[in-house]
């Protein structure tokens, strides 16, 4: 009996200890970064570009570059990912082909971002002659995020009841019409979740962008920006922290990234809950 009690208490304590470590780590990271970073976020930092003449640092170009990359990547990845998911759930009949596509998607999601960076710099920057540009970076990220968008869309397509499709077919609709009017409107949830997850991944991505998008801080418009080199927030953080030793700016960016991560997670949860409630009604 004594031995049994000892076992129970050891396991209990280990569980509390582990859960405590995880929680306190998260809280520490959150508060440390916010306390060190938030005081350094000024309007000047957010609204200007770096100026060597005045010796000031601004991260407006990096914020814009991040937005440009997100937009471009979604522009390419959405049709590709949603299309692939539709093919897999609506058209594919050959099991081996489905298995192959799913295996490829799994492989893609396992490849580390540094290898994407290397591949991107070889293929998009050199072979396709885009040089180091936001477009090359965004295209690299398209490949990286394709599996995510594909998987979330696929999951939500699977929840569309078969009877909806059969009903539409029975009324004489062609396959494309069924997809356009019945299937697509019902997979909005998966598409949105996929977008949020990808945006989160892009906001946090650095290794894949370092060699494909470069690290210039020039202030550009959208189309100009696409074809010129530019750093996103994470890459800027890395450069400020390691190459320039400017930790105030680095922590300010870290705090911004932390807040963005919180917002992205929150919206993913809220959207999940919203659709869950909707599907119950």
The Cβ-side half-sphere exposure at 164, using a 13 Å CA radius, reads 16
Contact track, another protein, 130-159, x by CB under 8 A: -------------x--xx--x---------
Centroid of chain to Cα 89: 24
Integer CA distances (angstroms), 86 to 103, 108, 139, in order? 17, 19, 22
* Binder of another protein out of 70, 234, 249, 252 (CB under 8 A): 234
45 within 8 A of 62, measured Cβ to Cβ: no
CA distance linking residue 83 with residue 230, whole number of Å:
30
270 lies in the binding site for another protein (CB under 8 A): no
**With respect to another protein, which residue has the nearer C-beta, 103 or 222?**
103
**With respect to another protein, which residue has the nearer C-beta, 196 or 223?**
196
Question: Binders of another protein among 66-85, rule CB under 8 A?
Answer: 79-80, 83-84
193 within 8 A of 271, measured Cβ to Cβ: yes
CA distance linking residue 107 with residue 245, whole number of Å:
37
Q: Which stretch binds another protein (CB under 8 A): 44-52, 59-67, 183-191, 231-239?
A: 231-239
Question: Binders of another protein among 9-48, rule CB under 8 A?
Answer: 11-12, 14-19, 21-23, 25-27, 29-30, 32-33, 36
Contact track, another protein, 176-215, x by CB under 8 A: x-----------------------x--xxxxx--xx----
Min dist CB 178 to another protein, Å, is 11
160 lies in the binding site for another protein (CB under 8 A): no
Helix, strand and coil in the chain, % to nearest 5: 80, 0, 20
């Amino acid at each position: 009996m004594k031995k049994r009690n000892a076992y129970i208490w050891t396991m209990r304590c280990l569980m509390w200890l582990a859960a405590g470590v995880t929680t306190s780590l998260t809280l520490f990271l959150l508060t440390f970064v916010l306390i060190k970073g938030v005081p350094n976020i000024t309007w000047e930092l957010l609204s200007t570009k770096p100026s060597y003449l005045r010796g000031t640092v601004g991260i407006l170009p990096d914020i814009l570059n991040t937005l440009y990359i997100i937009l471009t990547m979604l522009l390419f990845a959405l049709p590709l990912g949603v299309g692939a998911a539709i093919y897999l759930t609506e058209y594919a009949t050959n099991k081996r082909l489905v298995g192959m596509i799913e295996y490829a998607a799994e492989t893609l999601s396992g490849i580390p971002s540094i290898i994407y960076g290397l591949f991107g710099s070889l293929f998009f920057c050199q072979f396709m002659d885009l040089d180091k540009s936001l477009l090359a970076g965004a295209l690299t990220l398209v490949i990286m995020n394709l599996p995510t968008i594909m998987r979330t869309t696929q999951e939500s397509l699977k929840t569309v009841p078969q009877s909806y499709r059969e009903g539409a077919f029975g009324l004489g609709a062609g396959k494309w019409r069924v997809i356009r009017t019945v299937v697509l409107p019902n997979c909005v949830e998966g598409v949105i979740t996929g977008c949020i997850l990808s945006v989160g991944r892009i906001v946090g991505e650095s290794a894949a962008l370092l060699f494909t998008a470069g690290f210039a801080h020039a202030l550009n418009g959208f189309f100009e920006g696409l074809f010129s080199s530019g750093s996103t927030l994470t890459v800027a953080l890395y450069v400020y922290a390691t190459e320039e030793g400017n930790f105030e700016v680095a922590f300010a960016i870290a705090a911004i990234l932390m807040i963005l991560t919180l917002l992205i997670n929150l919206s993913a949860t809220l959207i999940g809950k919203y659709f869950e409630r909707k599907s119950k009604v």
